[in-house]
């Protein structure tokens, strides 16, 4: 079958849910064991096995790293049966390895899929990110605004005082000044230790999570995954790559990126319709974590399609192996 075969997102979506479920189940057996590498490897192995059962000609564009850094699910790796449509795949088999090792909230197995050529090949560098949920006019907040301007603009658009705006920020030393400025506006901050894909998704479900806006720098690959989620759920995200040295600029060149200062919108990062699945490993505000119930293991997956805006929550139960 040709690479240009129609991307049957409806038919592929349940298969994608099985992929994230398998990764979550495999890593869940290592929750609280203190071994980040083993948890990640278990998720990678399970995700790759399930991906290869799908009738796709898949290429990993966001993965575990470059080929010389990751033995499996590396950037450029071909996955799937080799039959069916050509697709781009962005994945993080275990977003929150530390969260899993320490049994902390919001560890997820995450994967997105779109037609070939639909996703930004983001290098493994930092990205400055800004995200809000659906229901706002385009450009109501902008990456070129100061943090204060963003809070004030969003509060005005929402019709509330700045004190009623809640922001999600990764707790890192590099964000100390950002945190100080946000708090100076009266806005509240929820600090997270890891897992900024989940952090961005929080914005799209603000009524449930209480989070209005995500700010700060994190991994660029995670930015593409987050953009895939918002493509399905609605909402806005902007990102700009950050480079610390020539090696990182070289990674961008290798990925085909020539404009190093480009500000990427959601639709720049994900240009066509996608499907997205995330399964809980540990309990969180997006999905519940994997849990044992006697001889059974249960998971919850959020499964989304951007073409229809559909969001499904799937509960899966299997005998504990």
How far is residue 270's CA from residue 314's CA, in Å, rounded to a whole number?
24
Mean pLDDT over the full length of the chain: 93
pLDDT at 70: 78
Residue 5 clears pLDDT 80, i.e. is over it: no
Least confident range of 132-136, 183-187, 277-281, 290-294? 290-294
Higher per-residue pLDDT: 71 or 173: 173
pTM metric for this prediction: 0.93
How far is residue 225's CA from residue 92's CA, in Å, rounded to a whole number?
8
If DSSP codes are grouped into helix, strand and coil, which group holds residue 36?
helix
**How many CB atoms lie under 10 A from the CB of residue 296?**
11
pLDDT at 8: 76
Residue 114 clears pLDDT 50, i.e. is over it: yes
242 CA to centre of own chain: 18
How far is residue 31's CA from residue 97's CA, in Å, rounded to a whole number?
9
What the block records as the tokens of 207 is 């009524």
Cross-strand partners of 241? 127
Higher per-residue pLDDT: 285 or 165: 165
The secondary structure of residue 99, as a DSSP letter, is: H
How far is residue 176's CA from residue 76's CA, in Å, rounded to a whole number?
36
Rg over CA atoms, the chain: 19
Residue 1 clears pLDDT 50, i.e. is over it: no
Residue 311 clears pLDDT 60, i.e. is over it: yes
How far is residue 293's CA from residue 299's CA, in Å, rounded to a whole number?
11
How far is residue 279's CA from residue 108's CA, in Å, rounded to a whole number?
6
Least confident range of 43-47, 114-118, 149-153, 254-258? 254-258
């Amino acid at each position: 079958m040709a690479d240009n075969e129609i991307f049957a997102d409806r038919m592929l979506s349940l298969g994608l849910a099985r992929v994230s479920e398998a990764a979550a189940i495999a890593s869940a057996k290592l929750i609280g064991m203190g071994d980040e590498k083993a948890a990640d490897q278990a998720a990678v192995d399970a995700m790759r096995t399930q991906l290869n059962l799908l009738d796709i000609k898949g290429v990993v564009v966001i993965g575990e790293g470059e080929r010389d850094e990751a033995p499996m699910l590396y950037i450029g790796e071909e996955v799937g049966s080799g039959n069916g449509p050509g697709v781009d795949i962005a994945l993080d088999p275990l977003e929150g390895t530390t969260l899993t090792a320490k049994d902390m909230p919001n560890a997820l197995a995450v994967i997105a899929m779109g037609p070939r050529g639909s996703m930004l090949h983001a290098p493994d560098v930092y990205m400055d990110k800004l995200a809000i949920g659906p229901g706002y006019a385009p450009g109501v907040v902008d990456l070129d605004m100061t943090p204060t301007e963003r809070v004030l603009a969003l509060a005005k658009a929402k019709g509330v005082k700045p004190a009623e705006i809640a922001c999600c920020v990764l707790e890192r030393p590099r964000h100390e000044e950002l945190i100080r400025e946000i708090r100076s506006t009266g806005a509240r901050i929820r600090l997270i230790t890891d897992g900024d894909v989940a952090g961005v998704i929080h914005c799209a479900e603000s009524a449930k999570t209480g989070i209005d806006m995500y700010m700060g720098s994190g991994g660029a690959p995670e930015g593409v995954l987050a953009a895939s989620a918002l493509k399905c759920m609605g909402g806005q995200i902007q990102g700009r790559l950050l480079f610390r040295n020539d090696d990182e600029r070289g990674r961008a060149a290798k990925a085909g990126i020539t404009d190093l200062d480009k500000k990427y919108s959601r639709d720049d990062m994900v240009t066509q319709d996608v499907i997205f699945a995330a399964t809980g490993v540990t309990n969180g505000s997006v999905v519940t974590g994997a849990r044992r119930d006697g001889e059974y293991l249960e998971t919850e997956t959020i499964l989304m399609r951007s073409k229809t805006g559909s969001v499904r929550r799937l509960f899966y139960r299997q005998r504990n192996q």
